[in-house]
Every structure is written in C-alpha cells, then in structure tokens.
Structure 1
C-alpha cells in the first residue's frame, strides 16, 4: 500500500520527489529560524509546521525530534560561537581577548532569541551542537587563565560565571528586545567591571536605556504570551 504524500511530495520519477522534499526541508528550516529568533525555543513543532505551510507528517519525516530541528537550525551559529573563542585566543592582549569574547557571545544572544536559549541549555543527543559548545568552553577556560595570569581578571572568576552571565543576558534580551534592544550592552558592561582586577583597563559603560523604554519593557513583559 503506497503511503499518502503531502502536497508537493507527490509521486514522480524520483528526482522530482527529492527536489520537493528538499524544498519542504528548506521551508521548515526557514520557518523555524524566524520563529526561534523572535520567540525563542518555546515555539512548538506544530507552530513551525504551520509557519512553514507543511503538514505535521512532513515535518516529522524531515526532523523526527525537536532536538533534530534545533540542531539543523543552529548548527551554523554554534560554529560561529566556537569560532569566536578562536578569534579571542588569537588576540595578543589577554584581557581584550577575554572581554571581546564575552561581548561577542552576548551579541549573538541579542541577535537571536532562539540562540540565546540554546546557549543556556544542553542537548545531549545533538552531538554537533555539543561538540561546538565543548570547544568554546575549553577555549574560554584558556581565556580565563590568560587574563588571570596577566593580572587583569579577578582570581575568583570561574568558568561557571559565564553560564550565569549568559542566563542573565538571555533574560534581559527577552525582556527588553522590543522596547530597549541595546539594554543588554549596559548589563554586560557592568558585569565586565565586576570581573575586572583593580588595574584592568575598562571601556566606558554603554548608555543606559531610557526610563520610558524600560517602563515599556515592563509593560510588555507583563502581557501573557499568545
């Protein structure tokens, strides 16, 4: 008995079927990127299917699990995450390398709410994502050691502090993205100051969001999700 095909994946000579399947896969990935970027990873698989204009069965054939979809959507961003630590390790100034990496990763979070979630979660079955995460973590440990040896980073800073920073930044990004999209920069500036040793050079603090922007952010934060 021949399985019922989704629209756009009907029978043919095989070549057309593969092309239709690839187009549906691209539509699903594009839809997931849009939704994850604006709403975070709380988006359901059903919502992704609706946004892509495909049936749930088509989505399930392309991506059997939520982790499969997340891996496909964020593979390039996780590669960029790992590349950022390599760039920072190449900086001859240990403190600048450390702060540059912190700022780069927080900027990645701010640019994509879904990626902000990915950086504060683990996906044990997503081997590619976790390999990039492990590379970035190992590189960051080296950045810490270099900055501390140079006397620029506080001796009590530990790698787990980056996890706390990313969680805090993800929360600020989610709360202020629509009303004060640069608010995260102020948070990161304050946190870098808290990590610095007494003689570390510090850049000026980014400007604070206006009271009006923060008030609007609190109003939006209090609205129920639809």
Structure 2
C-alpha cells in the first residue's frame, strides 16, 4: 500500500503536465485550416511566378529566382516542388487548367454567342502571354502531358455553345470545330519584339477571327493598343 501511495502523486503530476501542455498547444498553434490556406496561397504564387518566368525566359530560370519572384523562401519552394521537373510539369498542368476554366466559363454563359466570343478572346490572350512556356515545355518534355486529351476536352466543351450560337444566328451556319484548331494554329504565327506588342496583336487577331465567325459580321473598330507585330505601320496603298 505504501508503494502505491507513493506512485499516485507522480502519476497525477505527469497527467497534469500533459493537460497543461495540450492547453498551451491549443492556444499557440495556428488552426489547421490557416496552415492549409497559407500552403495553398504559397503554391499558387509559386506556380504563377514559374509560369511567367518560364514564358519570358525559358525553362532554365533558377529555382531561387522563382522563389524570389513568388515571395517565398527556397525551402518553401522545394517543400512544395522537390525537383525542377516537378515544378515545370505542375506549372504546365496549371496552364491547362486555366484553359479549361476559360472554356467552362464560356460554356456556362446563357448567351451562347457571348460565351463563344469569351472563349476565343481569353484563350488567345492566355496563349499570347504564355506561348514561350508552352513551346519550351513541349520541347523539353515531349509526351509528359496528354495534349490530345486536353484538346478533345476543350473542343467537346466548346461544342455546346457553338451549336446554340449557330441555331440562334450570330455564329455562321457553316462553322465547324476544326475552325477553332485552324484559328489557334494561325494565332501561333504571331511574332513580336515584346510581350506587350504580342498581346496587342493577339487581341486584334481575336477581334478579326470573331468577325469572320459571325453570320453577319459587325464591322466594329478593331483595337489598336500597340503597333502591328511587325513594328511597321501599313500604308494606304
């Protein structure tokens, strides 16, 4: 009995200390959802910085420069993306998700023609901003991402608003989905001396394409935010 009596106070002391430590942790540790939110924010900033730098400078950009542009430490970058290839691949998949989001937004618009125009305009803008990244990724990692499946998903999503826009009149009756592929192929031919000029030329190209797709084209003025991609203004004859 004496032996048991001596053990009980010690047991209570350990238990009390454990409870106290748990209370301290409950007060000082950040809630789990805040950590998840911070991690998600870091991930998005890293991917955004990576996409921008890869598009402007190619895939040889140092990981430390990506971390600096994203506003995180190298340790945070490597914790989320242990290798350069992991980051490059995830950034490209993020690019594809951005494309899918544009198509889904256009498909959800109750005005089929407006949704169709949105898809043309925003996809052209996305490609104009990040074309360098796409080209570099495909050259460095051929076959890493199933582009055929991505194209099929995009075309299937656009098919709905395209059919509705054809029935209601704004979209020309002889439009086929292959016309979008032709349009994107032509859009890749835009070359410019700077990103700003390329984006401006892309917007003008999209406006021309939309007019060409209309059953009765609206001859609204085209945007002239910057000189032509060639840098040389056209004469009058």
TM range (shorter): 0.5 to 0.7
Secondary structure of the structure 1 residue equivalent to 2:231: helix
User: Structure 2 length as normaliser, TM-score?
Assistant: 0.57
1:160 aligns with 2:178: yes
Q: Corresponding residue for 2:4?
A: none
Q: 1:205 to 1:164 in 2, by over 3 A?
A: farther
Query: Corresponding residue for 2:164?
Result: 146
Gaps of 5+ in 1: 1-25, 219-226
Q: 1:36 to 1:173 in 2, by over 3 A?
A: farther
Which protein has the bigger helix share? 2
User: 1:35 deviation in Å?
Assistant: 4.2
State the shift of 1:47 in Å.
Answer: 6.1
The equivalent position to 1:62 in structure 2, one of 76, 83, 98, is 83
Contact 2:103 2:158 in 1 (8 A): yes
Aligned 1:57-206 pairs, distance under 5 A:
62=83, 70-114=88-132, 117=135, 124-127=143-146, 131-172=149-190, 174=192, 177-179=195-197, 181-198=199-216, 202=218, 204-206=220-222
CA change 1:173–1:99 in 2 (3 A) is farther
Kindly state the Cα deviation for residue 146 of structure 1 after the two structures are TM-superposed. 1.7
Q: Does 1:214 align with 2:214?
A: no
Once superposed, what is the RMSD of the aligned Cα atoms? 4.1
Q: Given the superposition, is the C-alpha separation of residues 180 and 87 from structure 1 closer, same or farther in structure 2, using an over 3 Å criterion?
A: closer
CA distance in 2, matches of 1:172, 1:188: 12
The number of residue pairs the alignment matches comes to 178
Instruction: Please give the alpha-carbon distance, in whole angstroms, between the structure 2 residues aligned to 1:119 and 1:148.
Output: 36
Pair 29,89 (structure 1): closer, same or farther in 2 beyond 3 Å? closer
- Whether the 8 Å contact between 1:110 and 1:173 is mirrored in structure 2 is no
